[in-house]
Structure formats: structure tokens, C-alpha cells
Amino acid sequence: MADKQPESKLSAPASEKGEASATAGATVQHSEPPAATPAPAPATAEAEPTATTGESSAPPQAGTAATTTSVTATVTALPPEHWTEAPAGDSDDDGDSALGEDALSSTASISSTILKYRTIHGRTFHSEIGNATYWGTNDERHSESLDVLHHLFTLCLDGEIYAAPVKDPKKALDIGTGTGIWAMDFADKWPGCEVIGTDISPIQPTWVPPNLKFEIDDCTQPWTFEAGSFDYVHIRYLQGCIADWYAFFREAYKALAPGGWLESHEASPNVFSDDDTLPPTSAIAQWGPLFVDGGKAIGRSFTIVDEDIQRKAMEEAGFVDIQEKLIKVPSGGWPADPKQREIGIFAQHAIETDVEGFILFMTTVLGWSREQVTVYIAHLRRELRSLKHHVCYWQKVVWGRKPETA
């Protein structure tokens, strides 16, 4: 392990940060933009990987009418005044702490910030230099939630940290590395691989594996890495950050060596239930519209999974052997199945660790007051802890290979 500071590749640092994921629910289309009729939600927790020529079990499509069973992005967003006028309701606090404090705590070491940050209601965000935009806070509290999300991600992949058939990589790139926790795990797994993690905020620890380095970089700008220099490029949770996903995946294609793999992990902000336990006017159901509307206001999309952008952009860039894994993730400790219950507990904990850090930027963009944000958060926490709302969301992993002849 070595004590390292992130290197800056920019005179005015700015990049995409991708460790934050909102509570989700989605749509997959393999041709045109989302159609008007929702597909039924799969009954299983996970869809098998599908080849580029096949159809996956698709989540409900974006742009469709909402039902009490499947809440989509077209649920009408309630005005912020609704939350200060709504009755407080019963406390109903059946929060589950079955895993204990130790299992749910974060142990990441956070480095001192070296950039100028902007502040919203006392929380720091990356200052908007250049074109980079990240909608989550970059302080220590939010970093803890990002590390919980990383553990949730590994649970969803049965303990693995990636899905692509990576073999003996010599050089790997993690775009939007966030706290750097994924990059550190990958560097430990492949000690002979040079690993680079990039982000707009230097919130990564300084004590890292010797084969890992962090750089301050903006992935929304033309990439400055040597063409064909990476065997593997990893991208996670960049929804709401990228203005042009097709250009973004073309840059990844260019950076990869022939035969190299690209892997993308995203989630949709929309939630759903399979048993009519999620009213469209609930605080949980309103999570999706909050991000969809906020994303429109800043010119960034959160419906990457809903519109199948990962696959479409990979195909357009020239990737082959594209496969995907569609994962239905519960939120909360309500599932009877022990594995799904553990996943649900961590999904809930990831959000509850810093609800404010996830929504503060979007609610500010949409004109919410501090009081309205605070009351909405109280409603959301109460609903999550009640275990009465059997909430799920969609996560999607897509990976593809650059042709050997490219």
C-alpha cells in the first residue's frame, strides 16, 4: 500500500462521479425510445444475461401510465407544498437492524478536499467548473452512503465486483470512481494490473494498493488517455451526469485495446411494487419523478436503464458480444427470502445514510424550500421503515467487447 494524492489532469478540475445511485425502477427497449405500454415486472429477482441479439426480461417501460403495482417515471410529481401540508401519519417505525451496526458501518478513509466547493444548505457539492455535473454531495456523510452502495452492488452480483469475463488485465480504468472503493477492490484482486480511478472530486483515500492511482479528470470532455491503452473500463452510477451518452461510450471504445471489455452499471430512479403496496402519492413513489424532473431541468437524464441507453450506445460505438444482467432489487427488510432481505436492508441503509445528500441538489433545482425537503425526508424515512411498502427498483449491468480487429 502507498500514500498517494490524486493527480489532476485538468487546469480546472471537473469530471463525472458515479458512485451514487438513487432508489430505482426501469425499462429496457432494444430499438426505439420507450413505447406506450408497460411490460409486466418479472417475478424473479434477477434476469439471466442476454446476448446482443436476444431480448431480456424488461422492466416496466418509461413513459407509461402508472398503476399501483408498477410506479413509473410518469407518476405525476407532487408539488413541494404537498409534504408540508400532508399529515404526519403514524410513526410506524419498524426499521430493521438485523445486520447490526458493525455490518452496516463504513470504514473508508476520506482524504482532505483540495478543490473549491459550492455549498447548498450546509452541504458541499463539487463546484461546477467546465461541463462536469454531479448532483450528489461530496462530503464524508455521502461518502459513507456510497460505500454502502458498493457493498449492496457486490451482494447483487453474488460477491463479485464485475460481470465481464475479464482475464489477466494489464491496465484498467474506473470512471467516476467516487470514494475509490471499487478501484481498490479491483487493484487488490489483480495486483499485476495498473488501475486508474478518475473523478471530479478528490475524496478518495491516500492509502491505496501500489498498483492504483487516482486522477482528477472530466469524463464529459474528450478523453486524454492514449487510444487502445486499457484492457478493461468500468463505469458505475453515472446517471444524471452525462449529457451525451453516445459520445461518452465512443470515448470508452477508443480508450480500450482490441479485445478489451467495457462494463456499465446503472439504475433507474423509478420504484415499483408487485403487490399493490406502493401508492403513487407516497414519498417513496415520488422519488423517481423528483430525479426525472430535476434531470430535465439540468439537461441530464436519469432514465438510462429505462431507455436502454447502455446497450444502444455500446452498439453504436462498435462493441460486440454485448450482454446484460437485469436485477430487481428490493428496498427494505420486507422480503421473506434471506438473501433478498439482506439486499433490501442494505439498499434501504444506503439511502437512509444520506437521503439529503441524494436529493438536495435536485430539490434545490426544482425550487423546494429547506422546510419542504426536511418534511419530505421525514415522510420517506417513515415509509421505508414501516416495511408496509414492498418497494423494488431495477439495476442493469451491461458489458461488451471491442473487436479484436478494431
Q: pTM, whole model, 2 decimals?
A: 0.73
Q: What pLDDT was estimated at residue 355?
A: 82
Q: What pLDDT was estimated at residue 208?
A: 86
The phi, psi pair for 129, rounded to 5°, reads: -105, 135
Residues 87-111: what's their mean pLDDT? 38
Q: Is the confidence at residue 64, as pLDDT, over 80?
A: no
Tell me the average pLDDT of the chain. 75
Q: Is the confidence at residue 44, as pLDDT, over 60?
A: no
Q: What pLDDT was estimated at residue 139?
A: 60
Least confident of 173-187, 202-216, 325-339: 202-216
Give me the torsion for CA of 80, 81, 82, 84, rounded to 10°. 110
Q: Is the confidence at residue 260, as pLDDT, over 50?
A: yes
The H-or-E segment that residue 396 falls in is strand 391-401
Q: What is the DSSP string of 278-321?
A: --TTSTTTTHHHHHHHHHHHHT--S-TTTTTHHHHHHHHHT-EE
**Crossing angle, helix 287-298 and helix 355-365, to 10 degrees?**
50
354 — pLDDT class (breaks 50, 70, 90): confident
134 — pLDDT class (breaks 50, 70, 90): low
Residues 215-237: what's their mean pLDDT? 89
Q: Is the confidence at residue 258, as pLDDT, over 80?
A: yes
